Amino acid sequence: MEPFHDLPVAFKMNHKQDQLLFWGCFAAIITTSYAFISRMILCSGAFASDFGLDKVSVGELQGAGIWPFGVSIIIFSLVLDRTGFKAAMFFSFVSYLVYFAMAIAAYGCVHGLSGSALEEGRHRGYQLLYWGSIILGLGNGSVEAFANPVVATLFQADKTRWLNRLHAGWPGGLVLGGVCTIMLANLADWRWILGLILIPALVFFVILAGRTFPRSEREQAGVKYIEMLKELGAFGGLIGFGLVLAQMGQVFLWSPGVTWSLTALVVAGFAVVTRSFGRVLLACLILIMMPQAITELGTDGWITSLMQVPMQEAGHNPAWVLVYTSAIMMLLRFGAGPLIHKFSPVGLLAGCSALASVGLWALAHTAGLGMTAIFAAATLYAVGKTFFWPTLLGLTTEQCPRGGTLTLNAVGGIGMLAVGILGAPFIGYLQESSATRQLAAVNPALCESVTAGKHYLLGAYKAIDPVKAGALTDASLQAQVAAANTSGQFAALQQIALFPLSLFVAYVCMFAYFRAKGGYRPVRLSSSGDASA
């Protein structure tokens, strides 16, 4: 691994302008992950209690900060070559300011109130948090939209290594946000926790506001805009725009028929314009990104809640699991270069998938085993998920450079959409369905009295209502509900382990494909726009 203090040496071949651009983008990525982790911890804690949310509602609130991430990545990628990268940077900074203002207003809706006024305040406050989270997600996505192509353009000869270094900022922000949230956990006023997001936001804004951003690699090579669209093609348009419109339908309460009609219209128009199915390899990467993103970000969003019981049994805040795994990720991503060159991006991703699956399965069996077992399993999971996101982005831009900003960011955007629309609520559903089955098996009458029928994007479900469960006065009944919730959480972790297992199979097949072609080789664009290995 290359030590952190050696990093400036690697910059000697680059102008000071490139250094400032990289570190500004790095600070911007830290901002996105601080926003992510502070929200996720608060969603499972203060937000759930203040606004009376069950796990699926918590998952939907978590998702509201994630799926817009994917929307803005894709939308910005269609226009960034025309507007320039700096426009996305300014948009992201303003989004953080607006989100903080709406969070302050939401806090005022529930604190200092009681009775019917509190119930009305919970509804208003939740709406403010929900829509504020959407604005935050759009801002986070715009960071990803400009940061990834800027770094890929600056370091065209070693994209995957530098994208891993850039995305070391993500776990770095998770560590920062996790520690701040834990240290301030005893404060009743969670506005302080959210307000700290403005510090890294101001840092990246000050660094980048006066910089000159480069033109994208595609533009420098003279590849036409329509050729970029053809790389994504009808298949990429179907998945990307289909997920966007599915979420819009859920937010604006469209009927399924309206959603399907709009999707068909948009995708048909995209297919007519591009006259292309899209790169088959890119289609495979899109399909792989969805379960991969759910494995990493979906689990990260729930890990504090999932590990609450075993960590509290050991006398520690459950958020320390996420802080610990994120610290491992940050260090390993800075040293990704030798591993990428030794195993190739595909080989590295195959090994990571196997480790992540084993780690999640082990975490699901740590109840009552103490801190050593928890952190041993968490270490496996952390090493496994470390290279997922940036290495797949690097693989995409190395194999599909003609797609430029669009294909690079579309893969990341679709991953975020999959987490926000499907992953976070689905993991909540896994917990609730497992918990209700466990409670029904032990005490059917109790299960009937504390559960309620609900509905989300993927269908109907029954959930333990936190208000009804909180009204129980019998200690034995409270213990049965708590045991069912705990059982549901660990059952969910075990089921999530199947996602990286499927990824392992996919990457082994992809490794065999490249080996049959003579081995993995990045594709480079010449000054005439031609691609060659």
pLDDT along the chain (533 residues), means of 10: 37 66 95 87 81 77 81 86 89 95 88 77 88 92 92 88 92 88 75 88 94 85 89 91 83 83 90 92 94 82 63 72 85 87 92 93 79 81 90 92 90 85 79 85 86 73 78 84 81 87 95 92 70 53
**Burial state string for 28-51 with b = 16 or more CB within 10 A and e = fewer than 16:** bbbbbbbbbbbbbbbbbbbbbebb
What gap in Å lies between CA 32 and CA 27, rounded to an integer?
A: 9
Report whether 163 contacts 394 (CB < 8 A).
yes
Tell me the pairing of strands 451-456 and 459-464: antiparallel
Quote the domain boundaries for residue 493. Answer: 16-523
Local structure of 88: helix, strand or coil: helix
Task: Tell me whether residue 528 is in a domain.
Answer: no
Predicted local distance difference test score (pLDDT) of residue 14: 53
Could you report the per-residue pLDDT of 359-385, keeping only the tens digit for each?
Answer: 989 888 876 777 778 778 888 888 998
Do the strands 531-532 and 459-464 form a parallel or antiparallel pair, or are they unpaired?
unpaired
In a domain, 167, yes or no: yes
Report the distance separating Cα 438 and Cα 59, nearest Å.
Answer: 21
Contacts of 488 (CB under 8 A, 6+ apart): 430, 431, 432, 433, 434, 435, 436, 438
Tallying the residues shown for the chain, one arrives at 533
Name the residue among 314, 219, 212, 227 with its Cα closest to residue 274: 227
Tell me, what amino acid is at 513? Y
pLDDT in tens, 450-462: 887 777 666 777 8
Is 426 a domain residue? yes
Find out whether 408 and 230 touch, Cβ atoms under 8 Å.
no
Q: Is residue 369 part of a domain?
A: yes
pTM of the predicted structure, to 2 decimals: 0.82
**Among candidate residues 140, 145, 135, the one with its CA nearest the CA of residue 213:** 145
CA triple 173-44-313, angle to 5 deg: 95
What is the helix (H) or strand (E) element at residue 452, kind and residue range? Answer: strand 451-456
CA distance 222 to 236: 23
State the Cα–Cα distance between residues 133 and 67, nearest whole angstrom: 10
Give the whole-angstrom CA distance, residue 207 versus residue 187. Answer: 32
Asked if the structure places residue 161 within a domain, the reply is yes
The H or E element containing residue 170 is helix 169-183
CATH number of the CATH domain containing 152 = 1.20.1250.20
Phi then psi for residue 58, to 5 deg, are -60, -45
Give the model's pLDDT for residue 489.
Answer: 77
**Which pLDDT belongs to residue 292?**
93
Q: Are 361 and 310 in contact (CB under 8 A)?
A: no
For the chain, how many structural domains are there in total? 1
Query: What would the two tokens of residue 494 be?
Result: 């075990």
- Using CA atoms, how far apart are residues 514 and 530, in angstroms rounded to an integer? 21
Q: Left if phi > 0, otherwise alpha if psi is -120 to 50, otherwise beta: which for 277?
A: alpha
pLDDT value, residue 44: 74
Answer whether residue 333 is part of any domain.
Answer: yes
Vertex 61: Cα angle to 57 and 62 (nearest 5): 115
Question: Considering the domain boundaries, does residue 529 fall inside one?
Answer: no
Residue 4 lies in a domain: no
Give the list of residues 6+ apart from residue 84 with CB closer than 8 angstroms, or none. 213
Number of other residues whose CB lies within 10 A of the CB of residue 332: 18
Q: Which of 532, 524, 527 is nearest to 156 (CA)?
A: 524
